[in-house]
Amino acid sequence: MEPFDAVDVIRTKRDGLVLSDAQIDWVIDAYTRGVVAHEQMSALAMAIWLNGMERPEIARWTQAMIASGERMDFSSLSKPTADKHSTGGVGDKITLPLAPLVAVFDVAVPQLSGRGLGHTGGTLDKLESIPGWRADLSNAEMLAQLEDLGAVICAAGAGLAPADKRLYALRDTTGTVESIPLIASSIMSKKIAEGTGSLVLDVKVGSGAFMKTLDDARELARTMVDLGTDAGVRTSALLTDMSTPLGLTAGNALEVRESVEVLAGGGPQDVVDLTVALAEEMLRLAGRPDADPRAALADGRAMDVWRRMIAAQGGDPDAPLPTARHTDVVTADADGVLDSLDAYAVGIAAWRLGAGRAKQGDPVQAGAGVELHAKPGEAVRAGQPLLTLHSDDEARFARAREALDGAVGIEPAAEGADASGASAGTGSIVLESMS
């Protein structure tokens, strides 16, 4: 005999009341066991999305999801651990260069990553475009790789917060992704169960992020920092701009290629700057405040760790990356200065081109996505390529172009302005920090 009825729990939150600790513990456990049906948890998730949760509720919900599975332990490692989590954006490939970069300084980075959610790309989807690379490692393999070379990017094991795995997929198909309590508890249940000693949160703000406003991003960041700190994890957050795609690519193999450019000492400046900023914060929390990650990108040390990390997981770092069979070029319709390029629209276009999935388990195209040829602040000419769309299926181009309708803003250049195409700059990508 179950101590609660799912309908009563749903009604409690539907009516704007506070769920008790016992209700939360039961509903998470019962959903994991299959006693609470998907449609019932969908209704509860929507009630939470509409009415929110108080801080004690979020904390208890997070602990209940942690308790649904195992907890990892990295205390056997000879080095401190530090991890990073991004709330998701368009063109956000930062994990790829960041993990090996931090590992250069004798800090272990246990980066348990996920697949795409909605219009945002998934780190595992990107890395799986590398021939031979595998995401699934045992705990023993993960520990051995962390001790040996200091960095691993892999899928979370089935035993880590299984309640979150079920709820994560449900949120994506029920319009409840953007709920701050559900985002915070989802992220932090996995990160706390993972066992990292310190954690830096990259909380995205803007059209391409789940948090569209700075106030919402601050609330999410503060909620997660508090959850981590209360659990004994050294936690801080950077609020970063996601009004424009990060870098010049959105799509799986396209983003891997750009990440390798960053590791080779080049790449787009915004990707380099954010990678370095997050590395500095991770190293500070891990007790390495004097490390110089920018130098480690420039001199090839981070690239060395990347190559070893990819090879350790069965990948060939020298293999050619997949490319899409077809391309379609979007051009500027006027002379002027590129004033805006909406991140959300680019993310939806990449998704429609095949870089993302409509439902859990759908395949993704490794070569699909959007390549940017200009960023806001740059001068453009009518007819100049602005975007190249990549897909294996030409029929996808029409709907991708529909997603981009109104996404590009071109303003007349000021009289006497340089029309060479040199970037005018878009300001710092790091908006605020929080600890």
Adjacent-strand bridge partners of 390: 327, 369
For residues 81 and 107, the answer to whether their CB atoms sit within 8 Å is: yes
Packing angle between helix 301-312 and helix 252-263, nearest 10 degrees? 140
- Of 151, 142, 144, nearest in space to 70 by CA: 142
Q: Give the other-Cβ count within 10 Å of 280's Cβ.
A: 18
* Angle in degrees, CA 245, 250, 255, rounded to 5: 115
| Spatial separation of the C-alpha atoms in residues 279 and 291, rounded to whole Å | 9
**Token reading at 16:** 């704007």
User: 1 by DSSP, 3-state: which?
Assistant: coil
**Pairing between β-strand 385-391 and β-strand 369-372 as defined by DSSP bridges:** antiparallel
Question: Active-site residue numbers?
Answer: 85, 164, 171, 186, 190
Adjacent-strand bridge partners of 372: 387
DSSP string, 21-32: HHHHHHHHHHHH
Phi, psi at 328, each rounded to 5°:
-145, 130
Per DSSP, helices labelled H in 117-268 are 123-127, 139-149, 162-174, 180-194, 214-230, 252-263
